[in-house]
Structure 1
Amino acid sequence: MTSVTETTGEDVSEGGRKTPWLLIGGGVAAAALIGGGTAAALIMGGGGDRPDSVLPGDIAAYAQIDLDPSAGQKVAAVRFFQGLDSEMDERLSNGEWREWVWEQIEKEGDVPSDVSFEEDIEPWLGDRAGVAVMGAGEGEEPVVAVALQVKDGDAALAFLDEHLADSSEEVGYYLESDYVVFSQADTLEAVRSAAEAGTLSDNENFTSDMEDLGEAGIVAMWADLAQADEFDPAALDPSLGMAQEELGMGAEQPEVTGRMAATVRLTADAIEMHGINRDLSYMAGMPAGGNADSLVTQLPADTAVAMSLENGDQMVQSLWDTYSEDYAEQLQQATDAAAEQGFVLPDDLKVVLGQSMTLAVGPGIVDAAMGMSQTDPSVPELPVIYRATTDTARAQELLNDNGVGAGVLVVREDDGTLSLGTDQAYVDAAVEGGGDTLGDSDLFTRAVAEADEAQSTFFVDAAPFEEYYLPEVTDEKARTALEKLAAVGMSTVAEENGDSHFTLRMVADEE
């Protein structure tokens, strides 16, 4: 193992510990790749071990960017971005991802003028990078380590020795296998010792979670929530500590256990973030599975916005039971306050959510809202509906007791399902159907993964809103990309014993 410790190059950060321009630039490039330049990254080819093979295994959080994903991901990138962004498509086809990344670094980082990407960086820069956050002991700042893949270790070290040698703030680095590992100089040995004791690739929880996650895309993340929960947010950013105080969050918070992992990947028609939760303590009693007859799939196919929750009544009871022992006083206070307003907790909250619940907005919502009278005191007729399979008698009693029952809202009860809205025609059409439903919609199916099994869903059809937001987008490239956006969808599927998985998709128009 080769060890080199040098000072940073030109400094561009403000406050706290400072970071060399090279690492800042790398972070900026990674963020840009995630946000909008993913396709450019996919054309490159590489190989070798991943960053988890050289970073410590006993950590709180990890993230990696992999610019050499599977062949299927590369094919998907070509299909997805073809016609979406002409400039990006050309650079993807020409393999100019490296030039694009360096341009982002030059825009955001204070890169020395004498550094040439083609001559100084490209010959040794690899395809992958990873960052790990590990604890340093009670009261100490978390330790951050970055692993950057290199094709030529000697050339990489020679460049770093030359360009990170003249700053007063120190950063340490060493070569391990085909990675240069960076950290602050005073934490470098702690990082190296921890990695020698066992790398992340040796961590069974990590490897199991990544296997469950499925194919890792361009970006992947993993966190051990129990370790992350031990960090004082103010150690990373003082404003986070102040925000906690402003929100009234005391020093004692519920203990969090479990793990989370997620990845960003491409399909032929969507950018997808897929994630898993494992052994989450507060999810242990949650009902598993969704509802094949969920109300959301019964909505009209032209629904503009929809969200749903299945087994909400069971979820409320599970959470109530979970926190009743440690937070008995707070729950009693909430119960007493609700009783003064005529509500019974948790039972009435279970009534509101029911066995299946959905909120939906029709495609004419913007026109209806814009046409609302500023002087008419009556409830406006908007294409909005709430539906819940629940104790309809108790639900209507709650509405009447609070003065918003029939006469103020459109109220329907159909075989144990309560429907509320302000537009009689829209409510009747949504309940009675007669045409295609969201469950039949190809767009909904492409955007919302596993809708029939999901415990919760969210869906937005972009088409009804395009004429209102597209003219406000002045950047031509951004507007062209947004014109291709067809829908956004998300679903969460509850499994067993606190496990679950979720999928978020941004779906492009079909050619």
Structure 2
Amino acid sequence: MTTVTENPGGDLAESRGKKPWLLIGGGVAAAVLITGGAYAATMLGGGGDRPASVLPGGAAVYAQVDLDPDAGQKISAVRFFQGLDPELREQFSEGQWREWAWTQLRDEVDGAEDIDFATDIEPWLGDRAGLALLPQGEGEEPVVTIALQVQDGDAALAFFDERTQANDDIAYWLESDYLVFTEQDAQQTVQAAVAEGTLAENETFSSDMDDLGEAGIMAFWADTAELDDMLGAGANPAMAMTGGMVNSEMPEVAGRTAATVRLTPDAIELHGVVRGAEGVAIPENSDVDSLVTQLPADTAVAISMDNGAAMIQSAWDYYAEQNPEEVADATQQAAAEGFSLPDDIKMILGDSMSLSAGPGIIDAFMDVSPTDSGMPAVPIGYRVATDTDRLQTMLNENGLGAGVLALREDDGVLTLGGDQAYVDALADGSGDTLGDHELFTAAVADADDAQMVLFVNVNPFEEYYLPEITDTNARSALEQLGAIGISGTNENASDGHFTLRLVADPE
């Protein structure tokens, strides 16, 4: 069946009601969205509007893949995929990602063996794809819509028309330079929603994406309140894990999240922003002297949190208001064990804390004698800017004071660990530090301002895991990796941003 429908702009467009050869159209889009990824960043060519320009403005969730990123990202991709099979790497570098994606999909599609990519698909397939979920009310399944960019709309329609049999399951139609797919029953809903405004015209969406910055090879956006309504109570992890024995009333969520995957000259980066979050009031940045950047430059693993005490107090106030009985019970149980909540947790996290491991951490653990009942002398250290007298008192009362742990107090900062030499090295802060180390600064975005940091220098661990990788190409690819870094920064009580980076070793 072929019908003629009017586009939001007033133009006439053909609309087809067909059976899920969405396995091809949506399937190609899914292959692009899921598998195109970083490999496709080497693709040259493409252009045009983003998928958001043809998807409904009321969407609660949006994902896109852009296989025509800027030239810098394309060039950067080459470095990270040196470990690929040479023939496959050449295929990607020549922009043949679409043929590769089709190859991965072909075995899952009935009748695909009769399709030749070069003659049947390549002439019309574009370089971008997007997916949107349009909410239909609390507890109702959202309408799924996929937009697949096409270079030749007539050829794309002819391809699907020729290979489908008439039915009432799937509708697809041309909208600008995109082929749009949805369920037949939802076609009018989607087209009416687009007529009211596209996602690209949604001011909130556009503002969030502007704050996100350059949308790299893949991007994602979600209205978390709408998403929570769509998921419903069945998605409550507490209910799933406890069989409903815990309180099923979870705090309401609100706000939006946007994220993107980008390639830079020295890293693959996942960067995201949070906007308009409600619930726990997130403390803003303070003038805390962060401890993580003061760690030795040869630190293998580092975890840190700044303003931890303020975060705990904010979370405690929120949950005490939402669940007063549960919080009161927890407070009483802790008091019976000699602890004061939330004050003791705030004291442990303090204004700034760091947990670190030195480069010899694995060898140190391997050398620990199973017959030694004492604290092993391993290079692990904990530093915290807090009420050091009170913290030492709590440690002593729980059998973890001096003589069990190696301790040192310096100007309001307590350093403790299993090895006194490592504790002293952390506390002295002499020599090169992480804050000045090239690999750390490349891996951890906004290290000086971030409230939370995770850093792993993988080089000290390569001798342990690389020999276990039997595939030569995979091992070669992993040898490119130098460090992993994650950081999170609070901008104000409702906004923040986060970054994860996989960084290559300096050349």
1:411 is matched by which residue type in structure 2? L
Contact 1:291 / 1:453 at 8 angstroms: preserved in 2? no
Helix, strand or coil at the partner of 1:459 = strand
Of 235, 243, 250, the residue aligned with 1:253 is 250
Answer yes or no: is 1:143 the counterpart of 2:146.
no
SS at structure 1 position matched to 2:194: helix
Shift of 1:96: 2.4
Q: Report the CA distance between 1:233 and its aligned residue.
A: 5.1
CA RMSD of aligned residues (A): 2.3
Partner of 2:175: 176
Length-normalised TM-score, structure 2 = 0.92
8 Å CA contact 1:270–1:506 kept in 2: the answer is: yes
What are the residue-to-residue correspondences of 1:180-195 with 2, within 5 Å?
180-195=179-194
Percent pairwise identity: 56
Shift of 1:466: 0.7
Give the Cα separation in 1 of the matches to 2:237 and 2:425: 47
**1:415 aligns with one of 411, 425, 431:** 411
Amino acid at match of 1:48: G
Residues 442-470 of structure 1: CA deviation (Å, up to 9, x unaligned)? 00000001100111111000111111111
Q: CA deviation at 1:225?
A: 0.8
Alignment of 1:68-79 (within 5 A): 68-78=68-78
Asked if the contact 1:473–1:479 (Cα under 8 Å) also holds between the matched residues in 2, the reply is yes
Q: Please show how residues 376-391 of structure 1 align to structure 2 within 5 Å.
A: 376-391=372-387
Q: What's the CA shift for 1:165?
A: 2.2
Shift of 1:190: 1.7
Given that 2:32 and 2:129 are in contact with CA atoms closer than 8 Å, whether structure 1 keeps it comes out as: no
| Partner SS for 1:377 | coil
In the alignment, is the contact (CA less than 8 A) between 1:21 and 1:110 conserved in 2? no
- Does the residue aligned with 2:106 lie in a helix, a strand or coil? helix
CA distance in structure 1 between the partners assigned to 2:464 and 2:347 by the alignment? 37
**1:240–1:233 CA distance, 2 compared to 1 (3 A):** farther
Alignment equivalent of 2:454, drawn from 432, 455, 458? 458
User: How far apart are the structure 2 equivalents of 1:298 and 1:111?
Assistant: 61
Alpha-carbon contact 2:350-2:385 (below 8 Å) kept: yes
8 Å contact from structure 1 (residues 64, 131) kept in 2: yes
Native 8 Å contact 1:292 1:452 kept in 2: no
Q: CA deviation at 1:142?
A: 1.8
Cα separation, partners in 2 of 1:241 and 1:294, compared to 1, 3 Å: closer
Write the deviation string for residues 87-146 of structure 1: whole angstroms up to 9, x where unpaired: 454334433222222223236655621111111110110111000112122332122111
One-letter code aligned to 1:425: A
The equivalent of 1:218 in structure 2 is 217
Distance 1:83 1:480 in 2: 5
CA distance in 2, matches of 1:348, 1:454: 24
AA of the residue aligned to 1:224:
D
Shift of the 111–224 alpha-carbon distance from structure 1 to 2, 3 Å rule, reads: farther
Residue 389 of structure 1: how far off its partner (Å): 0.2
Q: CA deviation at 1:330?
A: 1.4
For 1:484, the equivalent position in structure 2 comes to 480
Q: Distance in 1 between matches of 2:239 and 2:448?
A: 42
Shift of 1:509: 1.3
Q: For 1:224-243, what aligned pairs fall within 5 Å after superposition?
A: 224-232=223-231, 243=240
Tell me, what secondary structure is at the counterpart of 1:426?
helix
Give 1:296 shift: 0.6
1:5 paired with 2:17, answer: yes
2:3 maps to what in 1?
Answer: none
Deviation for aligned residue 1:234: 7.4
Q: Tell me the CA shift for residue 320 of structure 1.
A: 1.7
Classify the secondary structure of the residue corresponding to 1:229: helix
1:316 paired with 2:312, answer: yes
Structure 1 spans left out of the alignment, 5+ residues: 10-18
Cα distance in 2 between the residues matched to 1:111 and 1:270: 40
User: Which residue in the other structure is 2:395 paired with?
Assistant: 399
Query: What's the CA shift for 1:484?
Result: 0.7
SS in 2 for 1:45: coil
Work out whether 1:330 is the aligned partner of 2:326: yes
- Count matched residues: 495
Matched residue type, 1:267? T
Moved more, 225-234 or 44-53: 225-234
Equivalent residue for 2:260? 263
SS in structure 2 at match of 1:363:
coil
Partners of 2:230 and 2:127 in 1: CA distance: 31
